Amino acid sequence: MIIGILSKNHEILNKVSRFHDHYEVLTSNHERLKGLNILYSNDITPMGNARNERRNVLINKTTTVLRVLQAFATDKKKKNLQDRLDHLTPEFFHDCSDMELIKMSKKIWLIANEYGGYATTFVNKIKAALNPEYSKANFKFEKKYGLLPEMIVEVEEATISFIDSMMQFQKTLKEKELLAEEMKMIFKQSKKLLTNKIDKFALLFENKNPKFYKEYSLAREKQSKKQIPEIIEQETEFQNLNTIEPEVKTPVIKSKRKVLPIVEEE
């Protein structure tokens, strides 16, 4: 509305060059806000859902191997191993952060390889090929407790897949955060420009062009009443985005709220 009023009164703006200059800056800021808002409003729900899906896959693969190891530790009365594994409950995996999940999956993977005796490096593969007893130990553990080599490979693949998805999601969140900060800065600049500059130049025409000044003043008054609650809500939205931890377990849903422009076009 403000830009619309100013744009249809170019003859007034042209009478005071600085008035016109500030109007151009205001218009430019408004266009930048609209462009940034399109990017900010991009829906990242599918990316968040994909990340969550891979997280669940990793949890399932890891806990499957974990149960075998816990049974093995109890059966063989390996107290140290029991102590290392007992706290890893379904609740732990549900509540842990992404990095904690990756750390624990790596831990389970290493323990499974340690006790299962599976060849995980080139040196170990050579050792297994040269030492038949080494291979027999693998088969024995597999037969007794059901820990298949494929299960360990699946944990490894699920971990890599989840890390890739997590990193992409974190990158997108960071980009969204930067967009929010930039829009917030432009919004404040435009608000300051209106209050400290444009309002004062408009006041010059209170007597020279009362029709223009009345229309401008009414628009500003209406805008102020409308923006006070919306600005507070928008500030909260920006703050919420800025406090998102990189390891969130729930995807950020697309904001359907458009960034509040400091001015509105007719």
118-169: per-residue pLDDT in tens?
Answer: 655 545 555 555 565 555 555 556 778 888 888 988 999 999 999 999 999 9
Residue 100 lies in a domain: yes
Asked if the model's pLDDT at residue 200 lies above 90, the reply is: yes
Q: How far apart are CA 255 and CA 258, in angstroms?
A: 8
Identify whether residues 114 and 55 lie together within a single domain. yes
Q: Is the same domain home to 53 and 159?
A: yes
Which residues does 161 contact at the CB level (< 8 Å), separation at least 6? Answer: 54, 57, 58
Considering 113, 148, 166, which residue would you say is the last residue of a domain?
A: 166
Tokens of 215: 């229309």
Mean pLDDT of 247-251: 40
Q: How many domains does the chain have?
A: 2
Q: Region 84-108: what's the mean pLDDT?
A: 93
Q: Is the residue at 149 inside a domain?
A: yes
pLDDT at 20: 92
Domain ranges, residue 157: 45-166
18 with 83, same domain: the answer is: no
Residues 63, 49, single domain; the answer is yes
Same domain? For 103 and 195 the reply is: no
Q: Report the C-alpha gap between 57 and 176 in whole angstroms.
A: 27
Q: Which two tokens stand for residue 259?
A: 């960034």
CA distance 199 to 203: 6
pLDDT value at 225 more than 80: no
Torsion of CA 110, 114, 116, 120, to 10 degrees: 70
Does 133 share its domain with 156? yes
Q: Two tokens at 98?
A: 């992404």
Q: Is the pTM of this model over 0.75?
A: no
Q: For residue 257, tell me if it sits in a domain.
A: no
Residue 182 within any structural domain of the chain: yes
